[in-house]
């Protein structure tokens, strides 16, 4: 059975759902609605940034045990906005690319269901102390 978490209030508010999580990888999706759009009728850049940040953070926090939660804080987040979606669903996939005991590095992409590359991101994250 896959391990997932109940989404935070923020992710719930945006309608962002976890659709995959394993060692060094996380995937989230959202069906676009009017609440996600800016005045140009494109998804607001904050939606992309939130999804990228979330996927990268989760990618570095997998433990395999739902009772052993590992948390991280974002130290740096870089976003490149590349295109507009052709479809109505955004899909973000994040991967942990390296790091050590206290920090890790990650990258992620946002696509839509047509395969259009919408945005890319990279980040640096610090693990929170347990306990």
Domain ranges of the chain: 9-127
What pLDDT band is residue 130 in, cutting at 50, 70 and 90?
confident
User: What b/e sequence results for 23-35 when a residue is b if at least 16 CB atoms lie within 10 Å of its CB, and e otherwise?
Assistant: eebbbbbbebeee
Residue 47 has pLDDT above 80, yes or no: yes
Rounded to two decimals, the pTM is 0.94
User: What b/e sequence results for 69-84 when a residue is b if at least 16 CB atoms lie within 10 Å of its CB, and e otherwise?
Assistant: eeebeeeebebeeeee
- Per-residue tokens: 78: 């870089």
pLDDT of residue 1: 47
With H, G, I as helix, E, B as strand and everything else as coil, classify residue 48: helix
Q: Residue 82: how many CA atoms within 13 Å on its side-chain side? A: 15
What CATH number matches the domain at 9-127, 3.10.129.10, 3.30.70.2190, 3.40.309.10, 3.40.47.10? Answer: 3.10.129.10
Provide the terminal-to-terminal Cα distance of the chain, rounded to the nearest Å: 27
């Amino acid at each position: 059975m896959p391990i997932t978490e109940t989404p935070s209030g923020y992710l719930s508010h945006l309608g962002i759902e976890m659709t995959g999580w394993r060692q060094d990888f996380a995937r989230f999706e959202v069906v676009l609605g009017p609440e996600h759009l800016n005045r140009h009728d494109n998804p607001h850049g904050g939606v992309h940034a939130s999804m990228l940040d979330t996927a990268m953070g989760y990618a570095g926090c997998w433990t395999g045990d739902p009772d052993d939660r590992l948390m991280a804080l974002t130290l740096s987040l870089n976003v490149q906005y590349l295109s507009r979606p052709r479809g109505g669903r955004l899909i973000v996939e994040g991967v942990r690319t390296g790091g050590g005991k206290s920090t890790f590095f990650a990258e992620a992409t946002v696509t839509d269901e047509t395969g259009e590359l919408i945005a890319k991101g990279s980040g640096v994250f610090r693990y929170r102390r347990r306990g």
